[in-house]
């Protein structure tokens, strides 16, 4: 990975204690923030088949895009590339594909699409990334905006019955909830995991569990975070919760309690996991191998834990008793395309 310090799933870096002193973890901003819009105002018009979404199933930020794409039925309009969960110093690799090349882009490493856009730019190579297939150039790595645009700008290509993941009447509340989730939880676990000082770690860990308690209280009387159906806010929370016991509890030392020890959040997470479009995008093998084998500063042995037991993800949750309609006036997505099915053994 390019950049100083130790690479995270999205290309941000944790500054090393030796080189920089006790400097807090700081997430890199998306360097390429172009938008693909219905009117093409940013130079990138929505066109079926033109772009390729590159993800790692290990990365929570990339997983947002994978879930949104599934729920909205964009599989035929926006093709998917899945990288190896293990990077090397040349960035995310396409070693899962025949001959180690992405079959559409023809590249071995994601940095090649970055270089086609801006040669040797000073930043990490991150996922999710959308690449323009005809030119091979990176379009955007703006993980915060990307899913919002899939929900709104790509609407003409949504499947019939696609849910409204960012309803206009609820956007202010969705943004407010998602901001707290991002600050204290999505990013908070990284701040705790890559902390180089005790106080820094304890403050980050405190933020994580304070936010979890607030979310547990909020979800004790409602099935979803905002409104009566799944929204962008739920997607952003789920991608951290589904990784919590597998990696954040132990690897990032967020061990005040496990997700499974909070009855409300554990039931909420299972509800979403069992909803088509969520659990069928999750690869626990990729998640665990990435965190435990790439973050050598935290886990120098590279040993990957055998647990936790995943079968609980499929147990009854009873969240339907709170009401709500998962897809609103829409319908569930169809079957996962054969080429995108998570392998047996990587899921419950």
Burial class from Cβ neighbours inside 10 Å (0-12, 13-18, 19+) for residue 97 reads: middle
Residue 189 CB: number of other CB atoms within 10 A? 25
Tokens 């990587």, residue? 346
Question: How far apart are the two ends of the chain, measured CA to CA in Å?
Answer: 31
| Tokens 């899945």 -> residue | 82
Quick check: 135 and 301 in contact, CB under 8 A?
no
Structure tokens given for 26: 């700081």
Buried b (16+ CB within 10 A) or exposed e, 111-121: bbbbbbbeeee
Q: Is-catalytic flag, 291? A: no
**DSSP one-letter code for 219:** T
92 is in an annotated binding site: yes
Q: Are 84 and 92 in contact (CB under 8 A)?
A: yes
Find out whether 158 and 72 touch, Cβ atoms under 8 Å: yes
Which of 51, 59, 143, 205 is flagged as catalytic? 59
Q: Active-site residue 268, yes or no?
A: no
Residue closest to 177 by CA, chosen among 240, 222, 233? 233
For residue 87, the tally of other CB atoms under 10 A from its CB is 25
- Active-site option among 51, 143, 190, 273: 190
Annotated binding site: 92
Q: Catalytic site residues?
A: 59, 190
- Binding site feature residues for glutathione: 92
């Amino acid at each position: 990975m390019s950049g100083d310090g130790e690479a995270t799933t999205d290309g941000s870096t944790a500054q090393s204690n030796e080189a920089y002193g006790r400097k807090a973890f700081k997430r890199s901003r998306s360097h390429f923030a172009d938008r693909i819009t219905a009117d093409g105002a940013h130079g990138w018009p929505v066109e079926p088949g033109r772009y390729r979404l590159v993800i790692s199933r290990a990365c929570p930020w990339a997983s947002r895009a994978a879930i949104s794409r599934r729920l909205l039925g964009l599989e035929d309009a926006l093709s998917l590339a899945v990288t190896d969960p293990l990077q090397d110093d040349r960035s995310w690799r396409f070693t899962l594909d025949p001959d180690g090349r992405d079959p559409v882009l023809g590249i071995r490493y994601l940095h090649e699409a970055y270089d086609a856009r801006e040669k040797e730019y000073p930043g990490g190579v991150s996922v999710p990334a959308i690449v323009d297939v005809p030119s091979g150039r990176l379009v955007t790595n703006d993980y915060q905006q990307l899913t919002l645009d899939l929900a709104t700008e790509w609407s003409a290509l949504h499947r019939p019955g696609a849910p409204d993941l960012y309803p206009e009447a609820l956007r202010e509340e969705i943004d407010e909830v998602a901001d707290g989730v991002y600050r204290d939880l999505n990013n908070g676990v990284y701040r705790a995991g890559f902390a180089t000082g005790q106080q820094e770690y304890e403050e980050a860990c405190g933020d994580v569990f304070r936010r979890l308690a607030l979310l547990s209280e909020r979800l004790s009387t409602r099935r979803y975070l905002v409104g009566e159906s799944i929204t962008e806010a739920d997607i952003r929370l789920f991608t951290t919760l589904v990784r919590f016991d597998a990696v954040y509890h132990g690897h990032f030392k967020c061990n005040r309690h496990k997700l499974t020890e909070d009855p409300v959040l554990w039931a909420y997470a299972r509800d979403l996991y069992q909803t088509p479009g969520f659990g069928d995008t999750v690869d626990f093998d990729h998640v665990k191998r990435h965190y435990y084998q790439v973050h050598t500063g935290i886990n120098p042995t590279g040993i990957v834990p055998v647990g936790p037991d995943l079968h609980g993800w499929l147990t009854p949750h009873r969240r339907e008793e709170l009401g709500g309609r998962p897809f609103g006036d829409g319908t569930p997505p169809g079957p996962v395309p054969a080429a995108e099915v998570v392998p047996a053994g990587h899921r419950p």
